[in-house]
Each structure stands twice: as structure tokens, then as C-alpha cells.
């Protein structure tokens, strides 16, 4: 027996200290609900979970950013809805003024309303804002200017970089309408001459038939009166015969006929198609698509640039600084999208100086205003595409945040059932160690029995 060192007591004290420490950690985890409360609990797990927390909070904020972006888009689109209504009214007034039942005084009164509507378009463009940021005055888009009238309806997108495009006349080809010629009637004297034979022809699904006594003019009137349905105009010339031309230009325009009879016997059952405008990739700085005379750059520095050719002539297109709005829709650097909104004021739409004070100017104004309507329609369509994209972006961000939160939870959160079981075990061991320590401390006193 020894008394200087109570080994049993020392061992019991060590076990008691360990059990007490474990029990304290159990209580801490149970009270916080976290498996990792300090770096010492799981150094690697803490580093991983903190990185995940940063991503989760970034994804949640990105989702809120996208929702703010939708609100901004809705603000701009709502203003353009009213611009659309104004332009429709202006077109109605132009059509009214183009009618020669109006006097000069009448047209002056119509012009007054047109002027006020033009001013309202400018007011909407200058005052529409979101969080004090102007949206429709061109400060949120990209300005594109042509050196002459060869190119019209110029717009850029968030992808269009600043710079200059030099287009040469030699490398430009305007769109062509579809055309078919029937030379059977070349021998007729003039438009008042009878066809001389019962004749029939079907043009784009519409059938026409004529008696032998019907004149060339009767046939022309029939074809041209139906042009709204067929999309085809007709003309006749001595030595040439009937020429059919589509009302539209480009590859989408076509003329389909059956095998004609009588004075249309030379028309075969074929389809004639138009052709789209042509430019060069080298001058545009990238590839492009064309629809009629409308050209859209699809790659390169000027991607997204659109313009309509009006003549085969050289022109310089200058793209200004791109001020497209950046929407941060990701948790990390450069995870953003650009939203470009072009200038939607009267001058940019081409209606800043609309005149309906004469039949001629009112007549041309109808087309000018129609072009403006189509430009606003294109802008609203683009905004709608942005909004739909952001809707999907929000869904994706929320899903990513949810999945990442689940991963972070598996690393950081405590399993309450398991921890309660461990706490109960450590509590019992601590109490047992306390009892055994009391017994161990009594052992050396047994030496006193030898002294009796």
C-alpha cells in the first residue's frame, strides 16, 4: 500500500474531467442547435460551411436583385404601353388628315393634337424613372447614328460595343420582292384591249377567272383589289405582259400560282420567292441575319445591332457608349446580365416633326408613325424577354440557395437525437466518476488500520 501517490484517484479525476468537458460540449451543441460552434469543433467543416454561407447569402441577394430588375422593366414597359396608345392615336389622326374632305383649317386643328401628343411622348421619355434612374431617355441603352439616310431604324442592345461600321455600296444588296411574269398577253394593244380568251389563274390560293370579253384593265383591277389577301400586285405592259410582284420584300415573300389558262397560259405551277438584303461579315465585324431590308448583327463587337437599309449607298454607322444597366444575378463577380433600353422619345422614334397639314404630308406620316409603332413594339418585346428571363433566373437562384442551405445544414447543424444520447451518456459517466473519486480518495486511509 502507498500513500504518496493515489493513482486510482488521479485516474478517476482524469476521467471526471473528460466526462465533464464532453458534457459541456453536449450542452453547448444542444442549446445552440449547431454541431460546429467554434473552429476546434471541426476546422475543415467550419471553413466549408462559412464559404457556403457566403454563397447562400449572395444567392438570396441576387434573387432580390432580379426581382428589383423585374420591377424596373415593368416600370419601363408600362410607360411604353402609353406611348403605344399615343402613337396609335397619332396614326388615326394622320389617316383622318390624309382624307381630302378636310379643309386646311381642319388639318390645322388636327395638327394641334398631334403636336400635343408628340410632346407627351417626349415627357414620358424624359420623366419615366425607377429609383430616380431615367429609363427611356437613352441613358440606359446605346445610341446608334447613321451618317446618312441609307440606314434607318437603328438600335443596339446590351451586347453592342462602341465603334464605327463602314458599309460600302458595292457590298450592299437591297431586298427583292418575289416576281413572276406571264408573257402570253404581250401582243395585246393596251390595257383596254379584251383578253380574247377565257382565262383563269390562282395566285397564293386565291382563284381568278375572266371571260374573253374582259379587258386587261379588268384583270389588273381584280388582281390588285385582292392584294390585301394575296400579298401580290399586278401590272401589265405591251411587249412584257402581266407581271406579278409581292407587296413585301425579302425571303418571306412568295408568289405561288397554278398552271394558268387562256391569257395566263405561260404561268406555270411554281413558287417564286423574294430575297433578303445582303451585306458582308467583314464590314459588319461578324455574322448577321436579314429579314427583308432589316439586318441584325449576330456576332462580333456589334452583336445586337439592327438597322434597315433604305438605299444601296455607302453609310457609316457609329455606335456610342453602351450604357446598358447591369443586373447582378449571381453570388460571384461578373455573374450579371445587361438590360438595354433605347431612347423612346419622339425624335428617336422618328415622329418629332410629324406634319399632317396637307394631304401629302399626312399620307407619308401614316408610314412614319407605323414605323414608330413597330419600334416601340420591338422594344416592349425585348423588355418582355428580359422579364421572362429574370423569372427563370429567380427560380434557379432560389433552387440553388435551397440546395446549398441543405448542404450547409448537413455540415453545421447538430443531430439533436444523437447529441441528447451522447449528453445522457456523458452525464451518467460524470456522476459515476464523481462517486468513484470519493471512493478512491478513501483508499489511502486504510493505512491507518495498520497503526492500531
| 99 phi, psi to nearest 5 deg | -85, 125
C-alpha distance from residue 105 to each of 102, 108, 111, 356 (Å): 8, 5, 10, 11
pLDDT band at 206 (very low <50, low <70, confident <90, very high): very high
C-alpha cell at 164: 464605327
d(CA 196, CA 263): 8
pLDDT band at residue 24 using 50, 70 and 90 as cut-offs: confident
- Report pLDDT digits (tens) over 396-447: 999 999 999 999 888 888 878 887 888 888 888 888 888 888 888 887 777 7
Work out the percent of the chain whose per-residue pLDDT is above 90: 67
Closest CA to 147 of 333, 363, 307, 36: 307
Residue 292 vs residues 80, 157, 274: alpha-carbon distances, Å? 26, 20, 9
At residue 282, the 3 state secondary structure works out as helix
User: pLDDT tens-digit profile of 149-181?
Assistant: 899 888 888 888 899 999 999 999 999 999 999
The alpha carbon of 153 is separated from its chain's Cα centroid by a whole number of angstroms, namely 19
Amino acid at each position: 500500500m502507498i500513500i504518496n501517490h493515489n493513482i486510482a484517484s488521479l485516474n478517476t479525476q482524469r476521467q471526471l474531467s473528460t466526462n465533464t468537458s464532453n458534457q459541456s460540449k453536449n450542452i453547448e451543441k444542444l442549446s445552440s442547435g449547431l454541431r460546429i460552434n467554434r473552429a476546434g469543433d471541426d476546422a475543415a467543416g467550419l471553413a466549408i460551411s462559412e464559404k457556403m454561407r457566403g454563397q447562400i447569402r449572395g444567392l438570396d441577394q441576387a434573387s432580390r436583385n432580379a426581382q428589383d430588375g423585374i420591377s424596373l422593366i415593368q416600370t419601363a414597359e408600362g410607360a411604353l404601353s402609353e406611348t403605344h396608345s399615343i402613337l396609335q392615336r397619332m396614326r388615326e389622326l394622320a389617316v383622318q388628315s390624309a382624307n381630302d374632305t378636310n379643309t386646311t383649317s381642319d388639318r390645322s386643328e388636327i395638327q394641334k393634337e398631334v403636336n400635343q401628343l408628340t410632346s407627351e411622348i417626349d415627357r414620358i421619355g424624359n420623366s419615366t424613372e425607377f429609383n430616380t434612374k431615367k429609363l427611356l431617355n437613352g441613358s440606359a441603352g446605346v445610341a446608334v447614328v447613321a451618317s446618312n439616310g441609307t440606314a434607318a431604324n437603328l438600335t443596339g442592345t446590351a451586347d453592342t460595343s462602341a465603334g464605327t461600321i463602314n458599309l460600302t455600296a458595292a457590298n450592299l444588296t437591297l431586298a427583292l420582292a418575289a416576281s413572276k411574269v406571264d408573257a402570253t398577253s404581250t401582243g395585246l394593244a393596251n390595257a383596254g384591249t379584251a383578253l380574247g380568251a377565257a382565262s383563269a389563274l390562282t395566285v397564293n390560293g386565291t382563284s381568278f377567272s375572266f371571260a374573253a370579253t374582259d379587258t386587261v384593265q379588268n384583270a389588273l383591277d381584280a388582281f390588285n383589289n385582292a392584294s390585301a389577301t394575296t400579298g401580290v400586285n399586278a401590272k401589265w405592259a405591251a411587249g412584257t405582259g402581266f407581271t406579278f410582284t409581292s407587296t413585301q420584300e425579302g425571303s418571306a415573300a412568295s408568289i405561288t400560282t397554278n398552271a394558268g389558262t387562256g391569257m395566263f397560259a405561260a404561268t406555270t405551277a411554281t413558287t417564286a420567292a423574294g430575297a433578303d438584303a445582303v451585306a458582308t461579315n467583314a464590314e459588319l465585324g461578324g455574322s448577321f441575319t436579314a429579314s427583308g431590308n432589316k439586318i441584325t448583327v449576330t456576332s462580333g463587337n456589334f452583336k445586337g445591332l439592327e438597322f434597315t437599309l433604305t438605299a444601296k449607298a455607302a453609310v457609316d454607322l457609329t455606335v456610342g457608349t453602351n450604357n446598358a444597366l447591369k443586373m447582378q444575378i449571381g453570388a460571384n463577380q461578373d455573374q450579371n446580365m445587361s438590360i438595354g433600353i433605347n431612347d423612346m422619345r419622339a425624335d428617336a422614334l422618328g415622329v418629332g416633326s410629324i406634319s399632317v397639314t396637307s394631304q401629302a404630308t399626312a399620307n407619308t406620316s401614316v408610314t412614319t408613325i407605323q414605323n414608330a409603332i413597330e419600334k416601340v413594339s420591338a422594344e416592349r418585346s425585348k423588355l418582355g424577354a428580359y422579364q421572362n428571363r429574370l423569372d427563370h433566373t429567380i427560380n434557379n437562384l432560389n433552387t440553388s440557395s435551397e440546395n446549398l442551405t441543405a448542404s450547409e445544414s448537413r455540415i453545421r447543424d447538430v443531430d439533436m437525437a444523437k447529441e441528447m444520447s451522447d449528453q445522457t451518456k456523458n452525464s451518467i459517466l460524470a456522476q459515476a466518476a464523481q462517486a468513484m473519486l470519493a471512493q478512491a480518495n478513501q483508499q489511502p486511509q486504510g493505512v491507518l488500520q495498520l497503526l492500531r
